[in-house]
Structure 1
Amino acid sequence: MRLAEFILRDMEGIVAQWEAFAATLLPAAASMEKLALRDHAEQILVAVAKDLSTSQSREEQSEKSMGRTGKPANSPETATQTHALLRARSGFDIRQLVAEYRALRASVLRRWMDDCLLVSPDVDDIIRFNEAIDQAVAESVGFFSANVEQSRDLFLGMLGHDMRSPLHTIQMTASYLSALNAGEKISGAASRLISSGARMQALLDDLMDFNRTKLGLGINIAPVEIDLAKVFNDELERLRAAHPDRRIELTVHGDAHGVWDGRRLQQLLGNLVLNAIKYGTPDAPVHVVVAGESDELRFEVTNSGPAIERLTLVGIFDPLKRGPDQQKRHDADGNLGLGLYIAREIAKAHGGDIEARSDATETAFSVRLPRHV
């Protein structure tokens, strides 16, 4: 008997074994009813049997074995994807999800071979069955991982939102203590609280921006008519006050007026300049050059220092990634490594882009912005 026919004929026995194995996957399965343990098993097996019964060329088999038979856009969820979603919501981990398919594969092949005692099993059926199970595993794992990641991002979003209120209270209390003039010890403690609170606020803002992009919401901007030269000068004055030992120079060419979110572009510039201060040569200036053109504006932040390795430069805007030297510095300053990623997302939100280049002479980050978002 061909494998597809066997699966459909022996469906109840196969599903019963699926259920029995799923019941061993603790602790998630401990409180699950029979129907939940069997979730979508029959639909998955029917899909596998249908796949085995469908004629397939060698070329199509080869493409399928390499995972190149993707679903059409906007097609409904498959049984394997829905199964993965429900398992994730039931508390299964990804190893348990894969274990279900491993047990299913062994169960079906063992039962079929026992049924084929007098006739040799069809080798092509075995190959195609394994490919179908592999495809089911890939679909399930992909959907499971996406669901877990989305749940994590939603949790981080809610956590970040809920942290804003107590952090604001800490900052307001520290400012009040500082204004009391109640002695050097209290004033010093208040200053440290204000500084630490500002640092926590910056980390929280980065986390919230990162979370929005991971949820597909993008960076939130509110564009208005502004003079970017003035906006940038205000930001650089703040950075000069925070880093009095560093030279930060601003040069403006042409018209710097346009419709942008000034606060967000200050954040973008601040991230680039802080990166230049952190990794550039301490006694060399950081240059910020703004050039207004007819329909867009460009600005560049450059610093002297060691060249960034090519492999590091390729992924320099990726979140939570650093080169070896950057990792050492991260261990000391405790930042999240999101500055350049958020800078890129702010540029994208304005319809612009950002590029990086580095050689033995200088490292430069160039940003292009259309004048109107």
Structure 2
Amino acid sequence: MDDDRMRLADYITAHATRIVDEAELFASTQLGDRVKLDSETLRDHLPQILEVVVAEMRAAQTPRSERRKAEGRSDTPASSPLSPAQWHGRLRAKSGFTIDLLVAEYRALRASVLRLWAADHGTEATSFDDMMRFNQAVDQAIAESVAHYAAEAETWRNIFLGVLGHDLRGPLTAILLTSAHMARMANDAPMSRLTRRLVMSGERMATLLDDLLDFSRTSLGVGLRVKRGDADLVRELHDEVEMLRMAWPGARIEFAAPGAVTGHFDASRIREAIANLVNNAVKYGASHGDIRVVLGRDADAVVIEVGNLGTTIPDELIATMFDPLRRGNGGGDAIDDGTSLGLGLFVVREVARAHDGEITVASSTEGTVFTMRLPWRAPVGTGD
């Protein structure tokens, strides 16, 4: 069969080597000195991608599948092995390609095929149909590559954040120990205030690093680490509220609880969650209103509420406020100092999830209440 009578799918198969050669040349010229890759790496998966494109072009197609391909969507089950395009996207992310270079590769691949094909076949009716099928198949490959490029890049970003947070803990611990020792040695009041400020700044940095590590772990699918133990939540939350009162002397923080609420929980994580909620209430709530921390228990769960007065939170903000790297809008009497990573409420949500519980929020003109429900577990060794 000569080129004059070939369909586009057959043409691609017959000229695959030349097409891939041109795609490799384009990729190498676009990278310049930014990334050094050998020929084999530059060509990786391109022949297989062309094979998939040809197979898609030859397969029967319903109107529904045609529309989905045009939109860059696939009917392939999520559990299926990665396609060549998906692998290509992941490897390009590891190789240092930017996402615009990844898309440019496909643009060059598409242009090479259509330029050669049009030069040989003109504008026959069958050519238009073939080119439409070809474009749909390439669009699908682009969508798969970009999605998996983004996933791979996100994974490495979270690994970097985790390593960074872990490596910074060593020198920060040394700073905290040294500043605490200096605080004990300080005799005069001015020096004492300076060393105490140094200690508090170091503790603040430690909290930020802890939040960063928690975010990195959950983003990588590891989940928040909890260490359950027998806990008296009344005593634990009372102590935490006392510390928060010292941290926020201008705020009125109330605490109410029944006589006893014990169970098998990670008390440290729960205290961390409550501290984040109270800090959030102080920063974004009304300066004249009390902040209420209420601990209770129903038949199935421990219930902790943190409420305050302030501007009503819009529904659209409530829908995303537990997402990572988001911060308050600074409305009302907000006193956010700009040092937050926007991970506080995210950590609260993950603490609840790690205890198989949930966190919800209700906001109205009467105030905003965050409610954490944690399924109750009896202390170890009890018969409850």
Q: Deviations over 1:24-59 (max 9, x none)?
A: 122467632222221111111011001000011112
Work out which of the residue numbers 221, 228, 231 in structure 2 matches 1:226. 231
Matches within 5 A, 1:222-371: 222-253=227-258, 256-325=261-330, 332-371=337-376
CA distance in 2, matches of 1:185, 1:362: 41
Deviation at 1:330, TM superposition (A): 7.8
Corresponding residue of 2:134:
129
Corresponding residue of 2:40:
35
2:341 maps to a residue whose letter is L
CA distance in 2, matches of 1:211, 1:64: 34
Question: Structure 2-normalised TM-score?
Answer: 0.92
CA distance in 2, matches of 1:183, 1:250: 36
Corresponding residue of 1:115:
120
Corresponding residue of 2:3:
none
Matches within 5 A, 1:111-190: 111-117=116-122, 119-190=124-195
Deviation at 1:309, TM superposition (A): 1.9
Work out which of the residue numbers 45, 49, 62 in structure 2 matches 1:44. 49
Q: Is the 8 A contact 1:352 1:369 kept in 2?
A: yes
Deviation at 1:185, TM superposition (A): 4.2
| Larger displacement relative to structure 2 (60-69 or 254-263) | 60-69
CA distance in 1, matches of 2:227, 2:288: 37
CA distance in 1, matches of 2:35, 2:313: 53
Q: Deviations over 1:261-320 (max 9, x none)?
A: 000000011111111111222222111122212221112111011111222122111112
Q: Is the 8 A contact 1:330 1:337 kept in 2?
A: no
CA distance in 2, matches of 1:254, 1:305: 30
Over 3 Å counting, the alpha-carbon distance change for 1:243 and 1:33 in structure 2 is closer
Corresponding residue of 1:217:
222
Pairwise CA RMSD of aligned residues?
2.0
Deviation at 1:71, TM superposition (A): 2.8
CA distance in 2, matches of 1:8, 1:325: 59
Unmatched tracts of structure 2, length 5 or more: 1-5, 379-384
Percent identical: 42
Corresponding residue of 1:205:
210
Q: Is the 8 A contact 1:356 1:363 kept in 2?
A: yes
Query: SS of the counterpart of 2:337?
Result: helix
- Structure 1 residue ranges (4+ consecutive) displaced by more than 6 angstroms after TM superposition: none
Tell me the matched-pair count.
373
Query: SS of the counterpart of 1:324?
Result: coil
Q: Is the 8 A contact 2:277 2:306 kept in 1?
A: yes
Query: SS of the counterpart of 1:25?
Result: helix
Unmatched tracts of structure 1, length 5 or more: none
Q: Deviations over 1:66-95 (max 9, x none)?
A: 344243233211111111222222211111
Give yes or no for the alignment of 1:24 onto 2:29: yes
Q: Is the 8 A contact 1:213 1:219 kept in 2?
A: yes
Q: Is the 8 A contact 2:284 2:333 kept in 1?
A: no
Deviation at 1:323, TM superposition (A): 4.7
Q: Is the 8 A contact 1:254 1:293 kept in 2?
A: no
Work out which of the residue numbers 71, 74, 77 in structure 1 matches 2:82. 77
